[in-house]
Amino acid sequence: MTESRPTARIVDSGNPDALPIANALSPLARPTVFLHAGWRTAGTFLWSRFRVFKDVAGYYEPLHESLATVTAETLARNGPDAWASGHPRLAHPYFDKFEPLLRKEKPGVRGYMSAFATDDFFAGPDAALPALETYLRRLVEAAHARGEQPVFKFCRSLGRVGWMAKTFPDSVHIAIVRNPVSQFIAARHQSAVHENPYFLLMPLRVLARNASHEAVAAALQHFAVRLPPEAADEDPAKAQAMLTAYLCRTGAEEWYRGFLAFWLLGMLGIPETIDAIIDADLLSSSASYRAECAAELAVLSGVAVDLSTGRREACCAARVTDRLGFGQADLWRYHALAAAFLEAAGGRGWMERGPLASAGALLSYATLLGLGRGRLLEVGGRERTAEWDALAGYAERVGADARRAGRRAEHAERDLAAIHQSRSWKITAPLRRLGGCLRLWTGRTTASGCRP
């Protein structure tokens, strides 16, 4: 937190119609907010809590490749109900704030370039990216012209957070991170259950498009990731076809190595000076952590967001390897490789100490999968340190919190099942049906004007 940030007035943000503004502060007095998230990390949930306010311009995925071809018609159809998103219900389409910026002569958003989605993905703080800077500043200016506070939510910025923080120093920059095991499982679930391999393909396409970058080349070699050359094709359709074929002829363990390389490289792009890092796993499992995050966000952004409606997810260690698609021993081995890569990254100056510790949490997550405290480092031949022990302890606390939440849910389900099987519940069934009919009749007559 920084003392120079405005302090928000706590309000109930659940009803946008009842809230004309986020709080008493002018939107122009509140900073622009950059939410830097990965795919399937609850970033959309966090962004949606800002978006309920009428004086917030919620820009969804400003670097999304579809913005090159979007039209008013396709924009109107693009929302969480159009696919198995798992996202919260939204009052407006994802990209509604881009509508005033649509080109008139052809599809797409003014100033957007297709290269923004994948190219220069791991650009350093001092990189010259004039087209990207101009585009983002245009979005900020458009929001200010409407008297709104811009809030960006990215899934294509983690590798270049340092550049964005340096280019927009007066903005608030927040990273939302999730352990790579859960994040990969979510991506694999989309592919296996909903026939949507997008979240498996995109990290690989980003790696292919940036393979000449020093850190990317080192990660690909370190994790033995061999992508087809065609994956770097400028035509997204051709690249997707090649990568789909790659997924068909390889196994989940190879997909995970590629994803882990991408995940770590994203951590490299988070500067130590970032305003906040939010743990998506803890956000979903701990009510106290959600309250802490809401308080910090209020100070940083000037907006009191309500995080109490977040999804609760319990860790189920027994099923993790089934959902990953490969064995526990391979998982430990890949995370040991990750430990070695982190050490090398710190030695080469690719990563600052703050994000290094945050990225190290992925190693301690293995504790939740049955590996003893500090044991992962021994598997990988790494030296055990107090920092790693602290991370392992943190993971144990998160896991214990999640397991307690899971047990409470199981007990509640058993109690509910027992009630439904009880004699009194069955005896009172006719009364409940009658009550339902009365409520339905009352609602219909009230709607038709027959009753006051």
Tokens at residue 123, please?
A: 């650009």
Q: Name the 3-class secondary structure at 177.
A: strand
Residue type, 338: A
Element (H, E) at 58: strand 56-60
Find, among 303, 328, 310, the residue nearest to 318 by Cα. 328
pLDDT tens-place string over residues 77-101: 877 776 566 777 777 888 999 999 9
399 HSE (CA, 13 A, CB side): 21
Residue type, 158: L
pLDDT tens-place string over residues 350-407: 766 556 556 655 555 544 444 444 444 444 444 445 555 555 565 556 556 656 666 6
Q: What is the DSSP string of 275-291?
A: SEEEEHHHHHH-HHHHH
Phi-psi region of 147 (alpha: psi -120 to 50; beta: other; left: phi over 0): left
Which pLDDT band holds residue 13 (cuts at 50, 70, 90)?
very low
Tokens at residue 265, please?
A: 């490289």
What value does the mean pLDDT take over residues 407-420?
70
> Tokens 């199981």 appear where?
410
222-226, 233-237, 334-338, 348-352: least confident range: 348-352
Taking the whole predicted model, whether its pTM rises above 0.95 is answered as: no
The per-residue pLDDT for 288 is 82
- On whether the CB atoms of residues 279 and 307 are closer than 8 A, the answer is no
Cα separation, 135 vs 108, in Å, equals 13
Cα separation, 109 vs 339, in Å, equals 41
The per-residue pLDDT for 49 is 92
Give the CA distances from residue 38 to residues 30, 83, 341, in Å, rounded to whole numbers and listed in that order.
25, 19, 20
Cα separation, 277 vs 272, in Å, equals 10
